[in-house]
Chains A and B, each alone.
Chain A
C-alpha cells in the first residue's frame, strides 16, 4: 500500500510537469492548428538558462536563501524563453501560415534540431548539474507512512496548480483570453471584430514559452541536472499528454498530463508483477504511446476534445 501511494506521488510530480508543458502545445494548437515541435526545446533552454542564471546570481550575491536565488534565476530565464518563443513564431511559422500543413511541421523539426545544437554549442554536451542552493533537500514523510516527498516536489505540484488555474482564469475572464478564444474559433471573424490576430498568436507563443521555462526550471531542480537532450523526450511526452486530453483544450492538457504521469509511474511499478515478468519496466516509454493509440482509436479527439470534422 505504501508503495502504491508512493507511486501515485511520483506520478503526480511527473504529471504536473507534463501538464505545464502540454499547455504550451495545446495553446498553440488551439489557435494555429500547428504542432509546435520546438516547444520541448524551449523547455530545455528554459532549464539550461535557469541553471546558468542561478550560478550567476549565487556568484554575485552569495549567501542568499535558496528559494530567492531560484526565483531570481527563473525570472531571468522566463523573458529569454519568451523572446525565443516569439522569434520562433515570427521566423519559422508566420511566413508559412498559408502553406500546406506539412511545411510548418518540417520547419518546426528544423527549429528543434537547431535549438538543440545551439544549446550544445553554448553549454556543451555533458549534463549540467543544478547548483545545490536548497541545501539538503531532505524528504518528508507523508501521512506518517513510509512515503517520501521533498520540498521541490511539493513546489512542483503547488506551482503547477497555481499556474494552470491562473491560465484558465485568464483565458476565461480577461479580454486577452477572449481574444484568444475568438482567434481559435475563427481567425477571420475575430480579425473583423477588431482582434489583432498576429498579436494574439505572438502572445500565445510567449505565454506558452513562459510556462515552458517554469517547467524546465522545475525539471532541472527536481532531477538536479539538465542537458541539451532533455527537451526532445519530455516534449514528446507532453505532446502525447496534450493529445490524450484533447488537443486545443486547456483543461484537457492538464488532465492528460496528470493522467500520463500516473499511467507511467503506476505502469512501470506494476507491469512486471501483473504480467508475471513477461513485460517489465523497460516498456515504460511504451505506455504513453500505447494509451495514446487506444484513446485515439476509441475517442479520436482525445478525452475532453470535441468531435471535429476532418479538415481537408
Chain B
C-alpha cells in the first residue's frame, strides 16, 4: 500500500523507475537467452508461472491467514481445462454429441474460464472448511489436493476424461491474434522465438496479477482479510461477513492458480498428474513463506529464488561432480546431487524460519510484529499471545 502513497510523493521519480523496470523486464529474456542460452529463457518462463502461483497462494495464506496445503489442485484444474479443450484427446468422446464446438476456444475465453472454474473449485474447497481452525484446515486442504490429483489419475474409466496416469499429449500452443505461440513471430524484421513470446505473455499476465494483488491489498476486502488473519472474532464483531470474505480469498487465490495452470499446459504441450503432487504445493507455500507472507515483492523474490537456485545448482554441482569423477578425484559411491539439493532446501526452510520468521523481505507490519521496536510494544505483543494461549481450549 505504501507504493501508491510514495508514488504520489515523487511522481516523476516513480515514472522514471517504472520505465526503467519496464525496459529491463522486456530485455531480460534477450540477456538471458544470449548470455546463458534458451534454457534460461525457459527458466524465466517457469519463474513467471511460479510468481503467479505464489501470488495466488499469498492471497489465501498471506492476506487471509488460511493455511492451504493443497493449492496445486487449482493449478491442476487450470492445466487440465486448457489441455482438454486444446488437444485431440476429447475428440472421440465428443463425436456425435454436437458439442465439438467447445474444442479449441480462443485464449480470451480459456483464460477467464480457467480462472472461473478454478475459482469455483476454490469455493468448493472453502465452503465446508469455513468453520475449521488453522491446523484442521491445513490437513483438509492437503486432502483436497490429493483427492483432485487421484481423480485426475483415475478418470480414464469408465469415461476416458483425463487419460489417467498417461497424461494428455499434443496440447496446442496458445494462439493470440491468429498467431500460434508455437511458431516464431516475425516483427519489424526481428524473429522472436516461441520461448520469448511465452515470456512476454506470461510477463503481461504476471503484471496483471501483481496489479490485482496490489489493488486487493489496498481495498476494503484486503483489509477485511488482514482483520480475519489477525483476529477472526474481532473481525466478525466489526461487521465483516467472515464467511463471504474467506470464500472470496479462496476463490481469488484459486483463480490465479487456474490461470497459471492454463499457461503451463500450453507451454509444456504435455501434462500428467505427477506434475501436481503434494511436493509442488509445499514448494509454492515455501516461496510465499520464505519471501515474506503477505508482501508482494517478498513473495516474488521467494518464487524467483526457488526457481532459479536449483537450476543454477544444476549448472554448478553436476558438471563439478562429473569433472571430479572423470578426473578420478572422487570415485565409487558419490553423493546424489538431488539429495544434496533437497537437503539444502529442507535446511534452508528450517534456518530461514528460525532466523527470520517473517521471511526474507517482509512487509513492514509483519517485521514490526516480530521484531518490536520498543519494549512497550514487545510487552503488548507478549500479552496478546498470552491472551490467545488462555483463550485456547
| A interface residues with partner B (beta carbon < 8 Å) | 29, 33, 35, 91-92, 95-96, 98-107, 109-118, 120-121, 125, 184-188, 236, 239-240, 243, 247, 277-278, 280, 282-283, 285-286, 288-290, 292-293, 296-297, 300, 308-312
B16 interface hit (Cβ, 8 Å): no
A98 touches B282 (CB 8 A): no
Give B286's nearest chain A residue, CB to CB.
A106
Establish whether residues B293 and A102, one from each chain, have CB atoms under 8 Å apart when the complex forms: yes
Q: Give the dominant DSSP class at A's interface.
A: helix
With a cutoff of 8 Å between Cβ atoms, the chain A residues found around residue B132 in the complex are 296, 300
**Residue of B144, B146, B348 with highest tally of chain A CB at under 10 A:** B146
Assess whether B301 is interfacial by the CB under 8 Å rule: no
B392 touches A289 (CB 8 A): no
23 A–B contact pairs at CB < 8 A? Answer: A33-B392, A96-B353, A100-B370, A103-B353, A110-B347, A110-B348, A110-B349, A110-B353, A113-B349, A115-B346, A120-B339, A185-B393, A186-B393, A247-B136, A277-B158, A282-B154, A286-B147, A286-B151, A289-B140, A289-B147, A311-B392, A312-B230, A312-B388
A92 near B350 (CB under 8 angstroms)? yes
Chain B residues with CB under 8 A of A110? 346-350, 353
- Whose C-beta in chain B lies nearest to the C-beta of A184? B393
Number of interface residues of B (CB under 8 A): 60
Q: Is B142 an interface residue (CB 8 A)?
A: yes
B154→A236 contact, CB < 8 A? no
Contact with A285, one of B146, B293, B347 (Cβ below 8 angstroms) = B146
Q: How far is it, in angstroms, between the C-alpha of A120 and the C-alpha of B339 when the chains are bound? A: 7
User: What is the minimal beta-carbon distance from B66 to any residue of chain A, in angstroms?
Assistant: 10
B240 CB–A CB distance under 8 Å: no
* Nearest neighbor of A228 in chain B, beta-carbon distance: B339
Verify A99–B350 contact, CB threshold 8 A: no
With A101-B134, A102-B289, A113-B346 as contacts: A107 and B354 at CB distance below 8 Å: yes
Residue of B nearest to A297 (CB): B128
**CB nearest neighbor in B for A279:** B154
List of B residues within 8 angstroms of A102 by Cβ: 61, 65, 67, 289, 293
> Given the complex of chains A and B, what is the CA–CA distance between A276 and B348 in angstroms?
49
Please tell me which one of the listed residues B143, B234, B343 contacts residue A292 in the complex, with CB atoms under 8 A apart.
B143
Specify which chain A residues have a CB less than 8 angstroms from the CB of B138 in the assembled complex.
35, 105
Interface centre among B129, B346, B369, B386 (most CB of A within 10 A): B346
CA–CA, A116 to B347, complex, Å?
12
A236 to B142, CA, bound (A): 9
B135: chain A residues at CB < 8 Å are: 29, 33, 35, 101, 105, 247
Given A121-B335, A297-B128, A310-B233, A240–B354 Cβ distance below 8 Å? Answer: no
A residues near B218, Cβ cutoff 8 Å? none
Residues of B contacting A285 in the complex (Cβ-Cβ under 8 angstroms): 146, 150
**Known contacts A111-B350, A300-B132; is-contact A187 B389 (Cβ 8 Å):** yes
Q: Is the pair B357, A114 in contact by a Cβ cutoff of 8 Å?
A: no
CB distance from B222 to the nearest CB of A (A): 19
B139: CB under 8 A from chain A?
A: yes
Residues of A within 8 A of B349 (CB): 106-107, 109-110, 113
Q: Is B285 part of the binding interface, using a Cβ–Cβ cutoff of 8 Å?
A: yes
